[in-house]
Each structure stands twice: as structure tokens, then as C-alpha cells.
């Protein structure tokens, strides 16, 4: 497995953190327990029920990051990710004088990738980069086309756009084609960009991180911008967005079976329009350099098309978690226990965990498996208290923050067991803390994959679903929508092998 060495390293850190946190929990609950003959430390497995759900089509507008490309996962099938975004003026109401014969000379689209600097040359100032979040064949080529979108995305009457709305944006007219590249690939080499210095009337080159650089058609932007200026369409961005609408990025494989998908920082993308104009109308030629910058910071939507998912053996016994237009699980604690009886026992909870075992035979052929899962209060759409109280951070990878709360993929027992463990000690304490606690405190819990553990916002489902108890699920965590693949876990049923079954374990002390 690609990440096995990495996870062996972090497992040791988590092992140490686990016992440190257990010690802290014990001290917080009560002092002088260890060594006191009036107390006995006990560990016990309690009942837990896990039910899989396909949440399906979900709002995917204004995500913090979005994918572009095609990716074939051996379990979850093929995903094609297109993208649409509004475009706004970096400087509104630019002065464009038609009498000075403005002429567009070059238009460049730039969208950064997520990358890490590996080394830098002090002499040349050239850095070597590694790209983050590139999935599939990193050297594969794609056919990329960029069109002017005709969809208005700022209408208050349409607050959401969804993962399945690619047909709303596709098939634009030939007049809307702005540029493309049939040999596009995610190049990890640094790029050079030019910015305009008004004082010197020159373009200044600088080295920047790896990114998509695409030449767009100058004549199209001459028509778009110069005619719009004369009509007052560049007066402010509300007017401009309604006029120009935005961009639609369309992607497809160039070579059958050669697929790749990358996460792009579209919010930092821009279009740079270079043009010349005369100093005065009487001049023979335009010589004054000018620039208009358009930012990709308006409303946006990630558009997903999924096909050819694999058949998962004995799927009824398992929990399939998938990002994007995906799947989740609903977790119920203590479904077979009497909470009032447990509360009356006055247990002092030292530690409580959920352990999910990966269905390794099914996931064996998967180069990419979700590195993190997220357990949250589904009833109230909020994090559980153990998430909120965990302030641990990781200096090299923020996606590994909150390591005590957990949910990080671990490979243990000499590689024979792959699992996720989530600590919910304080959540359980709140359920069992005293006999006056209401059974309603035992909320339903949601379980999803996540692209970034630090974000807890939600997105609206196109079709809400209802639990057997009557509770309606209308949203899912945003970072599950962003996540490009998933994981398959063993469930909680009696027909699941004991050593692979979902486990809910509590260590506690109580008077003898």
C-alpha cells in the first residue's frame, strides 16, 4: 500500500498520544483512583449499530477547493470532474477609450496547483516542487477546453448548484470557446508570470509555483471587454457577472485508460488580458501597454459524473464511505442497552473509542484510500465534543491535526489490519454522566470521509433522506463532498467476523 510506511510512522505517535490522553481523562474524572481498592478498572464492548446510506447528489457550489480531470478507482469507478466559476474584475470600471484603438495582444489563464517546495537554488531562485493531491497517472494527458459560461450563478433564487448539473453548463456554442489544450497535464515545474508595472510601462517576470497556464483567444476578449465597456457592463462586478457570467472548464481523457485528476486552487486563478492603445488618437500605432485582470473568485460549482462502480462483495455487511456524490454511515451507540441502568451504575469513564476495520480484500487494489474519516453529531449537524476539545496540531501536515480525536488511517499488526479509530470519551461521558441526563443526549452520529479534518461546514443534499426514527438528513459535511474517493469498512452486524466487526469499547472505573 502506497501510504503504509507513512502510517506506520504516525501510528507510533498516535499510540503515545492515546495513552497520554487516557491519563489526562482519568485525572480529569477523579483523583486517587489508581491504587484505591475501592475501585476496579474495567474494559467492556458495548452495542453499536451502523447503517450505510447513499446520500447521492449534493450541492457543490463554492467549495474551498475542487477537482479537475478524470480518475478511475478500482472500487468506486470512474469520476469525471468539470468546473464552472464566475469571473470578476480585479479593478472595476477600467478606462477603455475606443478612440485610442485598443488592441488585445495576449490573454493568459492561470490557476495554481497545490504544491510543496522540495528545494530552492539560492543562485537561480528556482525551486523544485512536489504536487499535492494528484490522483491516477500523474503523467497522463487530458483534453482541456475552456468556454464562456452562459449560466448566471448569482441569482438569489438559485442559491445552490449541484454535482449532477454538468448538462446545464456543457454544449456551449462555438462562439463561446475561449481556448484549450489537447495535451494538458499537471506539470510540477515552476512557471513564470508577468505583472504590469504602470510606472515603467513594462511587464515584470517572476517565478511562481506550478500551475495551469493556458493561452486564450485575444479576439474573443476584445469583443467581450471593449464592447462591454462602451455599454457600461464593466461599471461594477454585479453588472459584469450578469453580463460575462463566467468560465466552464471541460475535461476528457486524451488516451483511453490514461486518467488523472488534480485538486486546483481555482480561487487563486486569474485571467490576464494584455492590450495596447495609442497615446493620442492621432498616433499611427498603439504603443501604450495596458492590462485588465479578471479573478476567478465569484460563485463556482464542482460538476461530477460517476460511472462504472465496482460490485462490492457482501456489501450488506459493510459500510461504504465515498466522497463527492457519495455515501455515508449513520452510527447509533447503545442501541441494545438501557441507558438509565447504565447511568445508575455511576461509571467513571476513562476512555471510549470506535474502531472501524477496513475491508482490505476489497480495497487491496486501491492505490488511493481515504486517509481520514470524520464522525460528527448528525442530529444537530455539529462536531462532537471530543473533536472540539482536541487542539493537537501537526507541524508538517495540517490534515493530521486533532490526532487524539483520530479517524486517521492506521496499518497495524505487521500490516495485517488496517483501521480507523475515533475517540469519543467526552461524548460518552455526557451521555452517561448522571441519572438526570435525557436519553435524547444519545444523538445519531454521522460518519463520512473527509478531505480536511479542520473544516466542519455542511452542504445541502439535493434529495434529503429520512432515518427509520423519522429524523431527516438534509446536509453532509462539505469536506466529504470535496474528497475524491473513499473507503470500505466492515459493519456492526453479527454476520461480520468478530475480529473485523465495528467495536465500541469503554474503559471505566466504578466502586467495587
- Give the pLDDT confidence score for residue 310 in this predicted structure: 85
Q: Which cell numbers hold the place of 447?
A: 460518519
Position 483 confidence tier, pLDDT thresholds 50, 70, 90: very high
| Burial group, residue 259, by CB count within 10 angstroms (0-12, 13-18, 19+) | buried
pLDDT, residue 396, reads 87
Residue 5's pLDDT band, with cuts at 50, 70 and 90, is: very low
pLDDT over threshold 50, residue 30: no
Contact residues for 340 (Cβ-Cβ < 8 A; gap 6+) = 435, 439
Report the share of the chain in percent with pLDDT over 90: 75
CA distance 176 to 168: 15
Mean pLDDT of 106-120: 95
Whether 461 and 55 have beta carbons less than 8 Å apart is answered as yes
Mean pLDDT of 442-450: 96
Q: Where do the H-state alpha helices sit in 411-459?
A: 425-432
Residues 410, 358: Cα–Cα separation, whole Å: 10
Of 321, 307, 265, 315, nearest in space to 483 by CA: 321
Q: How distant is the alpha carbon of residue 394 from its chain centre?
A: 18
How confident is the model over 123-155, as pLDDT tens digits?
A: 888 999 999 889 999 999 999 999 999 999 999
pLDDT for 34? 43
274-327 confidence digits (pLDDT tens)? 999 999 999 999 999 999 999 999 999 999 998 888 889 999 999 999 999 999
Spatial CA neighbour of 143 closest among 193, 189, 179: 179
- What pLDDT, on the 0 to 100 scale, is given for residue 247? 97
Phi, psi of 10 (to 5 degrees): -75, -20
pLDDT at 436: 57
Tell me the mean pLDDT in the region 420-430: 96
Per DSSP, the three-state class of 76 is: coil
**What are the domain boundaries of the chain?**
4-58+309-511, 77-306
pLDDT value, residue 33: 40
Do the Cβ atoms of 292 and 122 come closer than 8 Å? Answer: no
What confidence category does residue 359 fall into, taking pLDDT thresholds of 50, 70 and 90? very high
Grid coordinates in use for 492? 456492526
Question: What does the pLDDT look like over 181-192, one tens digit per residue?
Answer: 999 999 999 999
Find out whether 371 and 3 touch, Cβ atoms under 8 Å. Answer: yes
pTM, rounded to two decimals: 0.87
What are phi and psi for residue 16, nearest 5 degrees?
-65, -45
Q: Residue 143 is inside which H or E element, if any?
A: strand 142-149
Amino acid at each position: 500500500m502506497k501510504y503504509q510506511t507513512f502510517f506506520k510512522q504516525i501510528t507510533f505517535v498516535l499510540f503515545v498520544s492515546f495513552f497520554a490522553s487516557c491519563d489526562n481523562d482519568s485525572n480529569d474524572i477523579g483523583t486517587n483512583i489508581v491504587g484505591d481498592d475501592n475501585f476496579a478498572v474495567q474494559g467492556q464492548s458495548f452495542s453499536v449499530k451502523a447503517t450505510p446510506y447513499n446520500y447521492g447528489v449534493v450541492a457543490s457550489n463554492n467549495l474551498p477547493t475542487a477537482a479537475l480531470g478524470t480518475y478511475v478507482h478500482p472500487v468506486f469507478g470512474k469520476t469525471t470532474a468539470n468546473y464552472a466559476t464566475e469571473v470578476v474584475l480585479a479593478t472595476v470600471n477600467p478606462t477603455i477609450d475606443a478612440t485610442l484603438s485598443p488592441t488585445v495582444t495576449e490573454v493568459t489563464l492561470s490557476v495554481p496547483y497545490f504544491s510543496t517546495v522540495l528545494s530552492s537554488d539560492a543562485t537561480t531562485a528556482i525551486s523544485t516542487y512536489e504536487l499535492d493531491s494528484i490522483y491516477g497517472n500523474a503523467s497522463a494527458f487530458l483534453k482541456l477546453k475552456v468556454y464562456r459560461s452562459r449560466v448566471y450563478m448569482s441569482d438569489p433564487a438559485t442559491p445552490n448548484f449541484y454535482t449532477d448539473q454538468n448538462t446545464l453548463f456543457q454544449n456551449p456554442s462555438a462562439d463561446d470557446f475561449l481556448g484549450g489544450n489537447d495535451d494538458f497535464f499537471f506539470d510540477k515545474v515552476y512557471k513564470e508570470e508577468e505583472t504590469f508595472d504602470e510606472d515603467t510601462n513594462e511587464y515584470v517576470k517572476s517565478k511562481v509555483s506550478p500551475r495551469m497556464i493556458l493561452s486564450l483567444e485575444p479576439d474573443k476578449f476584445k469583443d467581450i471587454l471593449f464592447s462591454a465597456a462602451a455599454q457600461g457592463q464593466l461599471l461594477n462586478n454585479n453588472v459584469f457577472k450578469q453580463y460575462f457570467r463566467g468560465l466552464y472548464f471541460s475535461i476528457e481523457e486524451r488516451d483511453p485508460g490514461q486518467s488523472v485528476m488534480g485538486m486546483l486552487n481555482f480561487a487563486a486563478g486569474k485571467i490576464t488580458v494584455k492590450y495596447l492603445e495609442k497615446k493620442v488618437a492621432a498616433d499611427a500605432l498603439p504603443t501604450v501597454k495596458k492590462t485588465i485582470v479578471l479573478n476567478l473568485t465569484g460563485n463556482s460549482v464542482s460538476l461530477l459524473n460517476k460511472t462504472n462502480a465496482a460490485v462490492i462483495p457482501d456489501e450488506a455487511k459493510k459500510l461504504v464511505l465515498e466522497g463527492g456524490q457519495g455515501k455515508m454511515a449513520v452510527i447509533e451507540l447503545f442501541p441494545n442497552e438501557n441507558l438509565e441502568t447504565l447511568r445508575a451504575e455511576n461509571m467513571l469513564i476513562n476512555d471510549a473509542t470506535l474502531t472501524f476495520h477496513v475491508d482490505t480484500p476489497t480495497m487491496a487494489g486501491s492505490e488511493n484510500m481515504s486517509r481520514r474519516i470524520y464522525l460528527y453529531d448528525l442530529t444537530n449537524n455539529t462536531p462532537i465534543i471530543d473533536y472540539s476539545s482536541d487542539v493537537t496540531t501537526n507541524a508538517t501536515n495540517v490534515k493530521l491535526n486533532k490526532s487524539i480525536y483520530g479517524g486517521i488511517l492506521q496499518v497495524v499488526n505487521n500490516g495485517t489490519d488496517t483501521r480507523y479509530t475515533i475517540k469519543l470519551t467526552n461524548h460518552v461521558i455526557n451521555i452517561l454522566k448522571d441519572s438526570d441526563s435525557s436519553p435524547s443526549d444519545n444523538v445519531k452520529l454521522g460518519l463520512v470521509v473527509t478531505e480536511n479534518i479542520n473544516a466542519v461546514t455542511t452542504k445541502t443534499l439535493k434529495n434529503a433522506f429520512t432515518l427509520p426514527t423519522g429524523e431527516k438528513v438534509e446536509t453532509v459535511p462539505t469536506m466529504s463532498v470535496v474528497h475524491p474517493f473513499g473507503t470500505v469498512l466492515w459493519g456492526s452486524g453479527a454476520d461480520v467476523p468478530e475480529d473485523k466487526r465495528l467495536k465500541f469499547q469503554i474503559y471505566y472505573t466504578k466502586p467495587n
